[in-house]
Chain A
Amino acid sequence: MDRLRADLILLACCDHMDPNDNYMINLVVGTIKGGFVFTSDAARREWKLTREIFAGWTVNAFARTRTGRYLAGTGSYVYGATVQSSRDLEHWEQAPQSPAFPEGSDRTLDQIWCFNVSGDRIYSGVSEAGLFFSDDDGDHWSPVDGLNEHETRSDWVPGFGGLCAHAVLVDRNNPKRLWCGISAVGVFRSDDGGDTWKPKNEGVTPAVPDALHGIGRCVHGLAIDPQNADRIFRQDHMGMYRTLDGADSWEKVEAGLPSGFGFPIRRDDRTGTLFVFPQESGEYRMPPGRTFQVYRSRSDGDSWEPAGSGPASYAGVLRGAMAVDSLAPCGVYVGTTSGTVHISPDAGDSWIVLPYTLPRVLCVESFVEPT
């Protein structure tokens, strides 16, 4: 009887060969004029636009918390920036206390740039550059003063995208170890849960002339190996870098890349594959070959290769506008400055383009949902 039961279970499993069948994907795209939610089954080849959210607002960041709550960072050059939350990506509610500089501050918080969900604690990087955290699922946010009031602050200068804290990393095995990337300033690390921070940019070419105190480095994107947080990958204004010692030192890793310049970098944590979108220098910010072309590394940055191929394109890709999902093979999602969204359902081997032209894409995020 037990054997028969086992055979039946095996038969049932064979009938659903693809374990991804149990999932669907919500792809959220943030643009300068609102957010868009696309939905697909796990094959990730046919997508439906299911809703438009935050019409007219800049949408710069999305995340999902440990409780399954979605967060969005919305802003407007007129009305400031806030965190919005939702349980279903449809009904949204403003956080009672979004990240904000202290009353009376001469700083203006104009964008929510990123979220990092680390267990029950959530971090958010903002511009004007600052780091905040929430311990209540995103409702209330407090400043990380150790970074926001850093002794080098008076020397921080904005880059082309403003003075923004756009990347936060947390060591999964030691949540007191944090990294924060600030554009045109550099990477900072804290080893004590955010109380104190040190610039960690040794080996990275300065982007700001006469930079002092180890800052003046223009980090564009960061990706961490969650199994070994000493291993961090850095898309910088001045090239592609890697550290193997938690950012104490950096080395260039550009073999196979047509350009070291770019903005986003993402990692498929299942396989360790890295994805980037090289662009031609800070002056042009277009794909070097004038085609949509993602590059990937399956060797922790030792070498890079083109990941499939895309259509002719003159559009760039901003730092938040790339995402990787958690299925196998991973899906890769890229939004461009000209409003197109490109999707690879097979880790970059092949690409489809959504049949929409959206406003300039600022961020994309994928959420794998059980069906």
Chain B
Amino acid sequence: MATVSVRIPSLLTSLLGIPKTAQVSGHSLHEAIENLCERWPSLAVHLFDESGALREHVLCFVNDTNTRDVEASEYSLRDGDVITILQAVSGGI
């Protein structure tokens, strides 16, 4: 099982009162995010929609790779990987 760090967007950390980075464990990206949400349950509703999928405008990078089109349960992690949760920014409101 790999130990990785997760970077969480400030919009979420400020709302939920959680740290901007966290160390979590997991064999796969799916397991790491699951463990993250287990530690801070209030986070889950903001990352996943009613269908259980990552919200449309939430991006999840592992190191430099956008995992949008990758099956998270099959994305293997290695020690020291950095997961970055990002919001897709567009428009001008």
Whether A94 contacts B42 in the complex (CB less than 8 A), given A76-B11, A108-B50, A109-B50, comes out as yes
Interface stretch, picked from A77-85, A186-194, A334-342, is A77-85
A84, B45: Cα distance in complex, Å = 13
**Interface assignment of B81: CB less than 8 Å from any CB of chain A:** no
User: Size of chain A's interface in residues, with CB distance under 8 A?
Assistant: 27
A105, B93: Cα distance in complex, Å = 28
Contact of B50 with A107 in the complex, beta carbons under 8 Å: yes
A79, B8: Cα distance in complex, Å = 12
Least CB separation from A101: chain B residue = B50
Report B-chain residues with C-beta under 8 Å of the C-beta of A370.
none
Contact of B50 with A78 in the complex, beta carbons under 8 Å: no
Report A-chain residues with C-beta under 8 Å of the C-beta of B12.
79
Contact of A32 with B93 in the complex, beta carbons under 8 Å: yes
Q: How far is the CB of A168 from chain B (nearest CB, A)?
A: 22
Report A-chain residues with C-beta under 8 Å of the C-beta of B93.
32
Contact of A106 with B51 in the complex, beta carbons under 8 Å: yes
Interface stretch, picked from A13-21, A52-60, A114-122, A318-326, is A52-60
User: Size of chain B's interface in residues, with CB distance under 8 A?
Assistant: 20
Binary flags per residue of B76-93, CB closer than 8 Å to A gives 1, else 0: 000000000001100001
Q: How far is the CB of B70 from chain A (nearest CB, A)?
A: 20
**Interface assignment of B39: CB less than 8 Å from any CB of chain A:** no
Least CB separation from B87: chain A residue = A78
For residues 28 through 57 of chain B, which have their beta carbon under 8 Å from a beta carbon of chain A?
41-42, 45-47, 49-52, 55, 57
- Give the most central of B12, B14, B45, B46: most A CB within 10 Å: B45
For residues 36 through 82 of chain A, which have their beta carbon under 8 Å from a beta carbon of chain B?
54-57, 74, 76-80, 82
Q: How far is the CB of A32 from chain B (nearest CB, A)?
A: 6
**Interface assignment of B16: CB less than 8 Å from any CB of chain A:** yes
Q: How far is the CB of B21 from chain A (nearest CB, A)?
A: 18
A94, B41: Cα distance in complex, Å = 10
Contact of B55 with A103 in the complex, beta carbons under 8 Å: no
Given contacts A32-B93, A76-B46, A96-B41, 18 further A-B contacts (CB under 8 A): A54-B15, A56-B11, A76-B11, A77-B57, A78-B57, A79-B12, A79-B46, A79-B87, A80-B45, A80-B46, A94-B15, A94-B42, A96-B42, A98-B45, A100-B45, A105-B50, A107-B50, A109-B50
B-to-A contact residues, CB < 8 Å: 11-12, 14-16, 41-42, 45-47, 49-52, 55, 57-58, 87-88, 93
5 smallest beta-carbon distances between A and B, as pairs = A79-B46, A78-B57, A78-B87, A105-B50, A94-B42
A-to-B contact residues, CB < 8 Å: 32, 54-57, 74, 76-80, 82, 84, 92, 94, 96, 98, 100-109
